[in-house]
Amino acid sequence: MDKIKVTIDNRTVEVAKGTTILKAAQQLGIEIPTLCHFELEGLNFHNRPGGCRICVVEVPGRRTLAPACVTECMPDMVVYTNSPRVLNARKTVLELILSDHPADCLNCSKCGSCELQDLAIRFGVRENPYVGGNHVQSEYKVEVSPSIIRDMNKCVMCRRCEEMCNKVQTVGALSAIERGFPAVVSTAFGNTLTESPCVFCGQCVAVCPVGALTEVDNNYQVLRDLADPNKKTVVQVAPAVRVALGEEFGMKPGEIVTGKLAAALKAIGFDYVFDTDWSADLTIMEEGTELIGRLKKFLAGDKDVKIPLMTSCCPAWVNFYEKHFPQLREYPSSAKSPQQMFGAVAKNYFAEKINCKREDMVCVSVMPCLAKKYETGREEFKKNGNPDVDYSISTRELARLIKMFNIDFNTLEPIEFDSPLGESTGAAVIFGATGGVMEAAVRTAYEVLTGKTLPKIDFEELRGLEGVREAVVDIDGLKLNLAVVYGLGNARKMLELIEKGECKYHAIEVMACPGGCIDGAGQPYHHGDSSIIKARWEATYRADRELPIRKSHENPSIQAIYKEYYKEPCGHLSHEQLHTIYFDKKIRVDEE
Amino acid sequence: MKIQKQLKDQIVEICNSFNNDPCNLINVLHQVQGKIGYLPVEVQQVIAECLHIPASKVYGVVTFYAFFTMTPKGKYAVSVCLGTACYVRGAEKVLEEFERQLGIKSGETDATGTFSLNTLRCVGACGLAPVAMVGDKVYGRLTPADVKAIVEEYRAMEK
């Protein structure tokens, strides 16, 4: 590869031809500020519109300042990233952006984690010369959907959300519309997200630099119910929360905080602190059994059986096939997601056990996800209007709740989850990372199908952070073709293969978010630092290794509930409580 | 969302004539608007389906270009040029007078569907600034005082 030399702030570096000034500066440890530019290295996400101009640098001999994020280095180029001209231009750019941005930082939910706010602080913006006179700020209606709040007055047109929604997720809900001051990112025809093709994956929220796209906050509903003496409060925590929550309390990414997390929830006042990992093990029993059932039929030559089986744990993915590929909705497993399985068990089995009426039980989930909020509201997951899971709060909301309660998270003594819905295995904790659900299913399917003990628990071939991975797993001579994908654009490719009849896989795992739930839209903001996601990923597999039981079917509490209550996986009662059906929600224009 | 079969067939035919290629979105929109006068929601949705692109993308393009409209134009579509030359020669006052005479704002169509009012940027007749168009007919060197007579001319044709 051709190498060229560039000199940035009087330091010379050799870079490959085609390298941008921004990247070359990074190699020298010089951080040029950016706003619209966004990249998740190794996770296949780039947004480089070169639009905001915060990253401008001075190149002597060039008439205008150069945007570092999109300008390629030329041989022997000289660049200054902090000349007076550059610093003045950056401040002006900020003042112009802020002239069409509400100055309500104090009551903005992004306050403290807003990239625009950080830049304004960094460049010492103290007044705004472009506000006042005839100038009126753009005003748009605020939309509160079941998962996401869109306050487009705060949009800075970086278009990260648009790139994520269209290029990575191929959902196509968002697009830039209009021009000039009215320009904004919008759904088609200004419809609500529910009416649009949006699947509530929330990745637009995960990448939004400002408070234009944020999560619906359910904390105050949780507080109200915690304070009600007539309510029994039950909380469940998803696998990916325990490897990310610590970040909100200054811990380094990848710290596993399971015990402290349980202790914090107890301190907040939940009556029962349980674990979604428990229902992840239950999911494996149901989904794994369904997979084995379909495979047996398939191998016996049944032409009607739907192969590949696709996982159904990810609620954004469920929304995706309901809204975009409803004709293929029989391929995904009918098993409910772990969140909803937990809710069903809590409000049926457990409520009965502690002699609590359904209406008096409040089931809260802590999720790395925003689509889970939408999922709790699905009509099919309610009984007489009472939902199996009352509220889903994100990892970020839980962090706020802990801070509200004056809990010093760092000094908490770790405790165990409560019994019986708190025991879990290593197979459950890896549900949080891409490939984890498939690996957990294979661990169980192997032993159930062969009756033999797995020679090796770790299926390295299913792990990784590439968007599409495939592996052949040998189950006692039966060669299973498996695929693992994340990102709905990759999932779309799989669905298209199925549609064309060219899909060679027996089972496919899908997670909507890059890297899986560890990078879910409800997790602490990573601001484009993919090393954080990597650290959470490593922590997930470390948590698995550290657990004494690592196969779902060996979870004693799961074995007990089948013996006592459900009798068998995919049996009558589990079909009633633990499985679901999918709907055709495609947006269509019907002929009159 | 509903659409008349005949209308849908027309749109499908136009999209087919461009091989349903998303690169031809602007051409498709141009032809469809030429045929039916405007681009309502259901029409954009059908175009999106034909070209296999999100409806949000179609809507983005329709709202970006001043030429495309989502409201049906009146029988007499009045366009006032607000390009630089017309603007500095008082086009804004002419526009205000059209708004007053027609009783509608720029971007609107009157209740009977007779007149619609819009602005545009330059018709290439800067020597005649300020300029307005009614349908394809160009009126140049306008003052607000001329507007009433122009409107009356078309009102008379309707009687």
Chain A: residue whose CA lies nearest to B58: A188
Decide if pLDDT at B73 tops 90.
no
**Residues of B in Cβ contact (< 8 Å) with A496:** none
Which listed residue (A347, A372, A373, A551) is catalytic? Answer: A372
- Using one digit for the tens of pLDDT, what is the confidence trace for A65-80? 999 999 999 999 999 9
Task: Give residue for tokens 């409800």.
Answer: A522
Instruction: Please confirm, yes or no, whether A517 is among the known catalytic residues.
Output: yes
B2, B41, B63 ranked by CB distance to A592: nearest: B2
Exposed, middle or buried: residue A150 (CB in 10 Å: 0-12, 13-18, 19+)? Answer: buried
Give the residue-averaged pLDDT of A124-129: 88
Q: Which residues in chain A touch residue B44, judged by CB atoms under 8 angstroms apart?
A: 188-189
pLDDT for the residue B66: 84
Q: Which CATH architecture best describes the domain A219-578? A: 3-Layer(aba) Sandwich (3.40)
- The reply to whether ipTM tops 0.85 is yes
Q: How confident is the model at residue A1 (pLDDT cuts 50, 70, 90)?
A: low
Selection from A174, A147, A152 nearest residue A161 by Cα? A174
Going by their DSSP bridges, the two strands A590-591 and B2-3 should be labelled as parallel
| A-contacting residues in B 16-45 (Cβ below 8 Å) | 41-42, 44-45
- The pLDDT value recorded for residue A204 is 97
A337: alpha, beta or left? (left if phi > 0; alpha if psi -120 to 50):
beta
| CA-based R_g, chain A, Å | 25
* Tokens linked to A575: 């079909």
Tell me the CATH number of domain A99-215, given options 3.30.1490.390, 3.30.70.20, 3.90.550.10, 3.20.20.150.
3.30.70.20
| Residue A133 clears pLDDT 80, i.e. is over it | no
Which residues of chain A form CATH 3.30.70.20? Answer: 99-215
Instruction: Judge residue B91's burial from the number of C-beta atoms within 10 Å of its C-beta, 0-12 exposed, 13-18 middle, 19 or more buried.
Output: buried
Grade residue A318 by pLDDT with cuts at 50, 70 and 90. very high
- Contact call for residues A150 and A193 (beta carbons, < 8 A): yes
Give dist(CA B159, CA B153) in Å, integer: 11
E-only strand ranges, A81-131: none
The set of residues, in sequence order, having a beta carbon less than 8 Å from that of A572 and lying 6+ positions away, is none
Cis peptide bond upstream of A420, omega within 30: yes
**Closest-CA residue in chain B for A192?**
B56
Backbone angles phi, psi at A104, to 5 degrees: -115, 40
Look at residue A138 in the predicted model and tell me its pLDDT.
81
Decide if A590 touches B, using CB distance below 8 A: yes
What is the per-residue pLDDT for A45?
87
Nearest residue of B to residue A183, measured between CA atoms: B64
In sequence order, the β-bridge partners of residue A143 are A150
Give whole-number Cα distances, A542 to A66, A254, A296, A343, in Å. 44, 10, 34, 28
d(CA A517, CA A10): 43
Bridge partner residues of A278 (DSSP): none
Helix axis angle, A395-404 relative to A258-268, nearest 10°? 50
Active site residue A439: no
Is the Cα dihedral A316, A317, A323, A326 positive or negative? negative
**pLDDT tens per residue across span B3-49:** 999 999 999 999 999 999 999 999 999 999 999 989 999 999 999 99
Distance CA A292, CA B57 (A): 42
Q: What is the pTM of this model?
A: 0.93
Whether residue A242 has pLDDT greater than 70:
yes
Query: Which residues of chain B have a CB within 8 Å of the CB of A189?
Result: 41, 44, 55, 59
Q: How far apart are CA A454 and CA A462, in angstroms?
A: 16
Pairing status of strand A184-186 against strand A213-215: unpaired
Kind of pairing between the strands at A361-367 and A386-387 = unpaired
Domain over A3-82 is classified CATH 3.10.20.740: yes
Tokens of A462: 């299913």
Q: Which residues contact A363 (CB under 8 A, 6 or more apart)?
A: A234, A235, A236, A342, A343, A346, A347, A387, A388, A389, A390
Per residue in B104-149, pLDDT tens? 999 899 999 999 999 988 889 999 999 999 998 999 999 999 999 9
The pLDDT > 90 percentage for chain A reads 93
- At residue A18 the predicted structure's pLDDT band, cuts being 50, 70 and 90, is very high
Answer yes or no: is pLDDT of A131 > 90: no
Handedness of CA A558, A563, A567, A569 (dihedral sign): positive
Catalytic: A503?
no
Q: Among this protein's residues, is A162 annotated catalytic?
A: no
Listing DSSP states for A33-60 in one string gives --SS-EEETTTTEEE----S-TTEEB-T
| pLDDT tens-place string over residues A167-178 | 999 999 999 999
- In 3-state terms, what secondary structure has residue B124? coil
What does the alpha-carbon distance between residue A343 and residue A311 come to, in Å, rounded to a whole number?
19
DSSP-derived letter for residue A467 is: S
Percent of chain A residues past pLDDT 70, beyond the cut: 99
A379 is catalytic: no
What H or E segment, with its residue span, contains residue A13? strand A11-16
Is 3.40.30.10 the CATH classification of the domain at B76-158?
yes
Rounded-to-integer distance, Cα A254 and Cα A250, Å: 12
Mapping DSSP onto H, E and C, the string for A248-308 reads HHCCCCCCCCHHHHHHHHHHHCCCEEEEHHHHHHHHHHHHHHHHHHHHHHHHCCCCCCCCC
A134 at the B interface (CB within 8 A)? no
- For A321-349, how does the pLDDT look when each residue is reduced to its tens digit (9 = 90+)? 999 999 999 999 999 999 999 999 999 99
| Burial of A460 (C-beta count, 10 Å sphere; 0-12/13-18/19+) | exposed
Residue A382: beta bridge partners? A387
Q: Side chain identity at A239, as an amino acid letter? A: P
- Rounded mean pLDDT, A209-231: 97
A17 included as an active-site residue: no
Q: How many residues does chain B have?
A: 159
Cross-chain CB nearest to B55 (options A166, A188, A592)? A188
Radius of gyration of chain B (CA): 18
Please state the φ and ψ torsions of residue A102, each to the nearest 5 degrees: -65, 140
Two tokens at A215?
Answer: 């999560």
pLDDT, position A254: 97
Using one digit for the tens of pLDDT, what is the confidence trace for A353-388? Answer: 999 999 999 999 999 999 999 999 999 999 999 999
d(CA A487, CA A467): 7
Residue A397 has pLDDT above 80, yes or no: yes
pLDDT band at A128 (very low <50, low <70, confident <90, very high): confident
Q: Can you give the pLDDT at residue A134?
A: 67
Distance, CA of A121 to CA of A395 (rounded, Å): 27
Residue owning tokens 């797993």: A473
Question: Where exactly does CATH 3.10.20.740 map onto chain A?
Answer: 3-82
Mutate to test the interface with A, among B3, B46, B56 (most CBs of A within 10 A): B56
A178 close to B (CB below 8 A): yes
In angstroms, rounded to a whole number, what is the distance separating the alpha carbons of residues A439 and A427?
7
